[in-house]
Amino acid sequence: MQHATSRHFKKNARRALDDAQLQRALGHVKKNFVERRAAAAARLPEFEALRDRARDIKNHVLENLDVYLERFEAKVVANGGQVHWCADAEAARQTILRICRSVNAKLVTRGKTMIGEEIALNDFLEANAITPVETDLGEYIIQLRHEPPSHLIAPAIHVNKEQVAETFRAAHTDLDPKRPLTEPPALLAEARAKLRSRFLAADVGITGANFLVAETGSSIIVTNEGNGDLTQTLPKIHIVLASLEKVVPTLEDAATILRVLARSATGQEMSVYTTVSTGPRRADDLDGPEQYHVVLLDNGRSRMLGSEFREALRCIRCGACLNHCPIYHAVGGHAYGWVYSGPIGAVLTPSLIGVEEAGHLPNASTFCGRCESVCPMRIPLPKMMRHWREREFERHLSPPAARWALRLWAFAAKRPALYRLGARIGARLLKLRGGQSGRIASLPLAGGWTAHRDMPAPEGRTFQQLWAERSRP
Amino acid sequence: MSERPARVGLFVTCLVDLFRPTVGFAAVKLLEEAGCTVEVPRAQTCCGQPAYNSGDRADAKAIAARVIAAFEPYDYVVAPSGSCAGMIREHYPTLLADDPAMQKRAQTLAARTYELVSFLTDVRGMSGVTARFDGTITYHDSCSGLRELGVKQQPRKLLATVAGLRLAELPGAEICCGFGGTFCIKYPAISDKIVSEKTADIAATGATTLLAGDLGCLLNMAGKLKREGRPIAVRHVAEVLAGMTDIAPIGESKAE
Amino acid sequence: MSDTRGQILGAIRKSLRREAPSPQMQAEIQARLAHPPRGPVPARGQLEPRARLELFVAMAKEAACTIVRVADVATVPSAVADYLARENLPAKLRVAPDPAVADLPWSTRPLLEVSTGRSDGSDEVSLTPALAGIAETGTLMLTSGPERPTTLNFLPETHIVMLTAEQVVGGMEEAWDRLRERYGRGVMPRTVNLVTGPSRSADIEQTLQMGAHGPRRLHIILVDGEATAEP
Contact partners, residue A109, CB within 8 Å, separation at least 6: A132, A133, A135, A198, A199, A202, A204, A205, A206, A230, A231, A234, A235
> Which chain B residue has its CA at the smallest distance from A397's CA?
B55
Q: Could you give the 3-state DSSP secondary structure of residue A228?
A: helix
Interface residue of A44, A69, A88, A188 to substitute, partner C, most C CBs within 10 Å: A188
**What letter does residue C21 receive in the DSSP assignment?**
P
Q: Least CB-CB distance to A226: which of C137, C154, C205? A: C154
Inter-chain residue contact A303 with C15, CB threshold 8 Å? yes
Residues B138-177: tens digit of each pLDDT: 999 999 999 999 999 999 999 999 999 999 999 999 999 9
Angstrom CA distances, A384 to A2, A333, A345, A423, B133, stand at 23, 20, 11, 33, 43
pLDDT of residue A289: 98
- What's the mean pLDDT when you consider all of chain A? 95
Residues in chain A, total: 473
Q: Least CB-CB distance to A413: which of B46, B191, B252? A: B46
All domains in chain B, ordered by first residue: 6-122 (3.40.50), 128-241 (3.40.50.11810)
A157: closest CA of chain B, how far (Å):
20
Inter-chain residue contact A249 with C197, CB threshold 8 Å? no
User: Helices A161-171 & A184-201, crossing angle to 10 degrees?
Assistant: 40
Strands C158-164 and C217-223, by their bridges, are parallel
All domains in chain A, ordered by first residue: 44-302 (3.40.50.10420), 401-471 (no CATH)
Residues A451-469: tens digit of each pLDDT: 999 999 999 999 999 999 9
Looking at chain A, the whole-number percentage of residues with pLDDT higher than 90 is 91
Q: Which pTM was predicted?
A: 0.96
Evaluate whether A110 touches A126 at the Cβ level (below 8 Å): no
**Sequence letter at residue A36:** R
A303: closest CA of chain C, how far (Å):
6
Number of neighbours of residue A411 by Cβ within 10 angstroms:
12
pLDDT of residue B123: 97
Residues A380-439: tens digit of each pLDDT: 999 999 999 999 999 999 888 889 989 999 999 999 999 999 999 999 999 999 888 899
| ipTM tops 0.90 | yes
C-alpha to C-alpha distance for A104 and A236, rounded to whole angstroms: 11
Angstrom CA distances, A114 to A27, A149, A316, stand at 24, 9, 11
Which class in CATH covers the domain with range C43-223? alpha beta
Cβ-Cβ contacts under 8 Å, B46 against chain A:
409, 413, 419
Question: Among residues 43-72 of chain A, which lie with CB inside 8 Å of chain C?
Answer: 44-46, 49-50, 53-54, 57, 63-71
C-alpha to C-alpha distance for A56 and A77, rounded to whole angstroms: 28
Q: Where are the domains of chain C?
A: 1-36, 43-223
Q: What is the pLDDT along chain C (231 residues), one digit of tens a residue?
A: 469 999 999 999 999 999 989 999 999 999 999 999 999 999 999 999 999 999 999 999 999 999 999 999 999 999 999 999 999 999 999 999 999 999 999 999 999 999 999 999 999 999 999 999 999 999 999 999 999 999 999 999 999 999 999 999 999 999 999 999 999 988 999 999 999 999 999 888 888 999 999 999 999 999 998 876 555
pLDDT of residue A95: 98
Q: Give the A:C interface size as CB pairs under 8 Å.
A: 271
Per-residue buried b or exposed e for B214-247, using 16+ beta carbons within 10 Å of the residue's own CB: bbbbbbbbbbbbbbbeeebbbbbbbbbbbbbbeb
pLDDT of residue A120: 95
pLDDT of residue A448: 85
Q: Give the A:B interface size as CB pairs under 8 Å.
A: 219
Cβ-Cβ contacts under 8 Å, B255 against chain A:
436-438
pLDDT of residue A398: 85
Q: Least CB-CB distance to A462: which of B21, B63, B226? A: B21
Question: Among residues 237-296 of chain A, which lie with CB inside 8 Å of chain C?
Answer: 244, 249-253, 255-256, 258-259, 268-282, 284-288, 296
Quickly list DSSP for A296-335: EE-TTHHHHHTSTTGGGGG-----HHHHH-HHHHHHTTGG
Residues C41-66: tens digit of each pLDDT: 999 999 999 999 999 999 999 999 99
Residue C22 burial (10 A CB sphere; 0-12, 13-18, 19+)? exposed
C138: closest CA of chain A, how far (Å):
9
Cβ contacts of C210-213, under 8 Å, gap ≥ 24:
C210/C64, C211/A188, C211/A192, C211/C157, C212/A137, C212/A188, C212/A192, C212/A224, C212/A225, C212/A226, C212/A227, C213/A135, C213/A137, C213/A192, C213/A195, C213/A196, C213/A199, C213/A225, C213/A226, C213/A227, C213/A230, C213/C154
A93: closest CA of chain C, how far (Å):
14
Q: Least CB-CB distance to A85: which of C1, C41, C153? A: C1
Q: Least CB-CB distance to A278: which of C153, C188, C195? A: C188
C-alpha to C-alpha distance for A265 and A267, rounded to whole angstroms: 6
In this predicted structure, the answer to whether residue A472 has a pLDDT above a threshold of 80 is no
Contact with chain B for residue A367, Cβ under 8 A: yes
